[in-house]
Structure 1
Amino acid sequence: MQALKETNFTFPAQTGFYRGKVRDVYSFGQQMAVITTDRISAFDVVLPRAIPYKGAVLNSIAAHFLRATADLVPNWLQSTPHPMLSIGRRCQPYPVEMVVRGYLAGHAWRQYREGHRMLCGVALPEGLQENDKLPQPIITPTTKAHEGHDEDISREEIIGRGLVPEAEYRQLEQYALQLFSRGTEMAAKKELILVDTKYEFGRTEEGTILLIDEVHTPDSSRYFYSEGYGERQRKKEPQRQLSKEFVRQWLISEGFQGKEGQQIPEMTDELVQHISARYLELYEKITGLPFTKPGGEDSLEAQLDAAIRQNIIPQ
């Protein structure tokens, strides 16, 4: 199984390059080619081994949901000429991520368990247990850190610090809640619960707000299986999850949460294969479509190089 950890292309007419946690982004004026590699991150740390097919899974799920929500919010995507490649519109990202939570899980539960009843300026009711449904979806934004950890931030801090103008921030909130509602409906049709997710937005030179990055993927979202959810809550049993949380839980069990001085545990071949298989399961369950593995005799890097040259560089 091939796995692509990074690319290092140089193209004619290329105007920029950025390497994120899992994506390599090549800029060409007002367009960009985004390669979703097989890198995997958790606790804001890129893990040492790449996961076969992970990039194709994430890119394909993101494209699926970007197309399914384009009637709600304009987005950056123009085409996907390869399962690991998306081509789209460049814009200036807002320096915050819009995290929407419908259930008390993950980071929100860890904060709640420690006694906090305010999260990003949002009050949480007393008497909740892990994975309970919240009275209504809430937005708990975070900063976007180029290095290190994202940090919780409130609406008031975002506006007060001038990170996002108030009118634009309120539009981001409206878009985020509309997207979460659509994602919830789509998940329900697959017998899933969209627990929480994050959205990122940018602004074009003309002032249009676009939905960017990935949408409703297992890296940016948490899903529960809806069958048996209520019974498991009554018995205070763990929920069956469809997300990257299983990777985080493995790291926690090995004593790693991305904190200073902690050592990333060894990733064995068996673990890498297990994670890869879970991502394939995620794709087929979330989209309801069979997954087609990237093929051909050429390496993934050669395939992507050719796809970018054919689709974005003027001949």
Structure 2
Amino acid sequence: MRILSEAHFPELPNYYRGKVRENYDLPDGSRIIISTDRLSAFDRILTCIPYKGQVLTQTARYWFEATKDICPNHVIAYPDPNVVVGKRLDILPVEVVVRGYLAGTTGTSILTLYKKGERQMYGITLPDGMRDNQILPEPIITPTSKEFDGGHDAPLTPAEITGKGLLTQEQWDTLSKYALALFARGQEMAAKRGLILVDTKYEFGTDADGNIILADEIHTPDSSRYWLADSYQAAFESGGRPVSFDKDFVRAWVADRCDPYKDAIPEIPADLIEQTSAVYIKAYEAITGKTFVPDDSDETPLARVRTNLAPYFA
């Protein structure tokens, strides 16, 4: 299996290793972001999934190009299938999630809060009597604090965002406009592919001139929830979950066999890794309508990335 597990190049300056990405800040104000094949969960690296980094980079590329008329993004160049060179930004301290359905499983999801009896959340009020996975009257923004030090994100209202000085009113207005427009474009294009874009996360930053720029990734299988449209109605009527791109085989397998926050991670079977890789590839093809072509040039993925990044070496 061809895997990009790491991408540390001493020839590049200002190295920063994230959970799944390798980052280098260049003197000209740009940043090299390399998506590895590492799979992160439970605040640790579980394994590597072949072609995961290429799938995420190329899916985001598809969406960045399809939405650049709505919102400026950080992309400068794609020197390699796993690499984007982008503008270096100051990331805003608010994480933006746009939701079109009463869905989710995390502690900050609107379905979780709704089931606890809450009706007022994120500065909005939801009506009584809604059911799991029901479409919302209109898409909503559910912002949370973005904890950079490993803390837990917390729900925010627009009033809290501006009142605490996290964003100015002008920044919040601009960010909200961008997020809802991006989500509308995403839902429209997904529908043409037989998909429902249920919810998604956006990350924004500001450039040297203070302009709000879309960063990170957009509408990828890791940042978004997709359902197969033809599975929705029957699942909703029966109280079940619509069919989605379920990539959590590895996470569920690990959680069934140990305490993943404390114990050593058991060796993960190769067939499970291959199955997860196939789901990522299937998601790419369903979302973009393109055939996935793995870039197996050069001896290894690491060697290929090194070759393609050579022009950026000091």
Q: TM over 0.5: same fold? A: yes
The residue number in structure 2 matching 1:185 is 188
Q: Secondary structure at the match of 1:137?
A: strand
Are the aligned partners of 1:33 and 1:85 in contact in 2 as well (CA < 8 Å)?
A: yes
The residue number in structure 2 matching 1:307 is 308
The residue number in structure 2 matching 1:2 is 2
Change beyond 3 A, Cα 1:254–1:175: farther
The residue number in structure 2 matching 1:18 is 16
Q: Secondary structure at the match of 2:47?
A: coil
The residue number in structure 1 matching 2:30 is 31
1:239 equivalent to 2:238? Answer no
Distance apart, 1:254 and its partner CA: 6.0
The residue number in structure 2 matching 1:208 is 211
The residue number in structure 2 matching 1:112 is 114
Are the aligned partners of 2:199 and 2:225 in contact in 1 as well (CA < 8 Å)?
A: yes
TM-score, scaled relative to structure 2 = 0.90
1:68 equivalent to 2:70? Answer no
Q: 57-66 or 261-270, which moves further after superposition?
A: 261-270
Count of residues in correspondence between the two structures: 308
Are the aligned partners of 2:298 and 2:304 in contact in 1 as well (CA < 8 Å)?
A: no
**CA-to-partner distance for each residue in 1:207-226, whole Å, 9 max, x for gaps?**
22111110000000000111
Inter-partner Cα distance in structure 2 for 1:119 and 1:261: 33
Change beyond 3 A, Cα 1:46–1:66: farther
User: Quick one: percent identity of the two aligned structures?
Assistant: 42
What's the RMSD between the two structures over aligned residues? 2.2
Change beyond 3 A, Cα 1:193–1:245: farther
Give the partner amino acid of 1:118: Q
Change beyond 3 A, Cα 1:18–1:156: farther
1:44-193 alignment runs, 5 A limit: 45-106=43-104, 107-146=109-148, 147-193=150-196
Inter-partner Cα distance in structure 1 for 2:98 and 2:41: 19
Distance apart, 1:236 and its partner CA: 1.4
Change beyond 3 A, Cα 1:116–1:255: farther
The residue number in structure 2 matching 1:294 is 295
Q: Secondary structure at the match of 1:25?
A: strand
**CA-to-partner distance for each residue in 1:178-198, whole Å, 9 max, x for gaps?**
000000011001010000001
Inter-partner Cα distance in structure 2 for 1:263 and 1:151: 29
Give the partner amino acid of 1:181: A
TM-score, scaled relative to structure 1 = 0.90
Inter-partner Cα distance in structure 2 for 1:265 and 1:122: 44
Q: 88-97 or 3-12, which moves further after superposition?
A: 3-12
Are the aligned partners of 2:19 and 2:45 in contact in 1 as well (CA < 8 Å)?
A: no
Give the partner amino acid of 2:184: S
Change beyond 3 A, Cα 1:254–1:172: farther
Q: Secondary structure at the match of 1:135?
A: strand
Give the partner amino acid of 1:187: A
